[in-house]
Chain A
């Protein structure tokens, strides 16, 4: 009897711990992807990672059945030259939010099995060092879209641009 009670208590505690981990871990929100133009074999997906926990976590791997390979990439602008570089694993510090968006981080999808079409959804599996595996479905917006469809940045004007140089005729 006592043994059963202890077992029950232990079970409840571990279950509680598991739930706590689940809610404390990194949250994935607003996933979205861009439709691929023409026969482009590479695509990009974006999302927001929120870490409400007390410790940092890291996004270590990304995969999707839609592409042969998926990686975390970063766009770096150096003197107007665009460079795309692998940027994983991606650290999300405690209490911080990391937004993957055009011109910054993206999930680079390489070797798409078929073009990504606007209106479809892209399944993504994200693996975190601590939070474990998370699965999300990313709605696919237009090619070159700047935010999730229907979102405040669905249009292509989220940033104020800068003229590089100017010469009036």
Chain B
């Protein structure tokens, strides 16, 4: 009788241990996913950014190597976007002004995801409405796709048949790379110019 009870207790204890183990494993897995979603990502430095070859707003071919020695603040968008893109470029322009001479260490880039319509001339008139220091880049569809992939930007054409037009869905983030072209941080597109300036200042002052 006692033996039977103790066996029952042992199996019950085993059951508890098993349940506990499952919970711990689930928690660790969940925590890991949570951390990778928000926190520093090991290996991300290699994964975001990289070589690109595009056409600048003067119609000149430029590669990422030309910007070495300067930090790069990269945004992908398009000129027919009336909401998210002007919001972000206005933040960049405001931050540049707030940074003062420190802004000389930074090259802001606006890379179009709509190269079919955003020619070099369109980009020039668009970016200079915010700040002449923002450089607009276009390229062939293949070159744009390559750059977007390197920066982990997804984009897609969305048809609007009722107005015989299309919009471009696109990842709307600012990507900061250091003077050696290494990924540093991404900012959400609604960061606001004060916070953006403050964050950029902290990085740029380091070098």
**A interface with B by C-beta (< 8 Å):** 34-44, 69, 71, 73, 75, 77, 80-86, 102-103, 106, 108-110, 142-146, 155-169
The residue from B82, B169, B184, B203 contacting A36, defined by CB atoms under 8 A apart: B82
Q: Given A108-B82, A161-B187, A167-B40, decide whether A38 and B129 contact each other with a Cβ distance below 8 A.
A: yes
Check if A165 sits within 8 Å of B182, measured CB to CB: no
The residue from A35, A102, A144, A165 contacting B185, defined by CB atoms under 8 A apart: A165
**B interface with A by C-beta (< 8 Å):** 38-41, 44-45, 79-84, 86-91, 93-94, 122, 124-130, 154, 158, 160, 162-163, 165, 167, 169-173, 178, 182-196, 199, 203, 206
Which residues of chain B have C-beta atoms less than 8 A from A73's C-beta? Answer: 83
Check if A39 sits within 8 Å of B188, measured CB to CB: no
The residue from A42, A110, A164, A168 contacting B40, defined by CB atoms under 8 A apart: A168
The residue from A39, A143, A162, A164 contacting B86, defined by CB atoms under 8 A apart: A143
The residue from B44, B158, B206 contacting A83, defined by CB atoms under 8 A apart: B158
> How far apart sit A158 and B38, CA to CA, in the bound complex (Å)?
23
Considering the complex, give the chain B residue whose CB is closest to the CB of A102.
B87
> How far apart sit A144 and B77, CA to CA, in the bound complex (Å)?
14
Considering the complex, give the chain B residue whose CB is closest to the CB of A116.
B82
Considering the complex, give the chain B residue whose CB is closest to the CB of A110.
B163
The residue from A42, A85, A165 contacting B41, defined by CB atoms under 8 A apart: A165
> How far apart sit A168 and B169, CA to CA, in the bound complex (Å)?
29
Check if A81 sits within 8 Å of B90, measured CB to CB: no
Q: How close is A109's CB to chain B, nearest CB, in angstroms?
A: 7
> How far apart sit A106 and B192, CA to CA, in the bound complex (Å)?
19
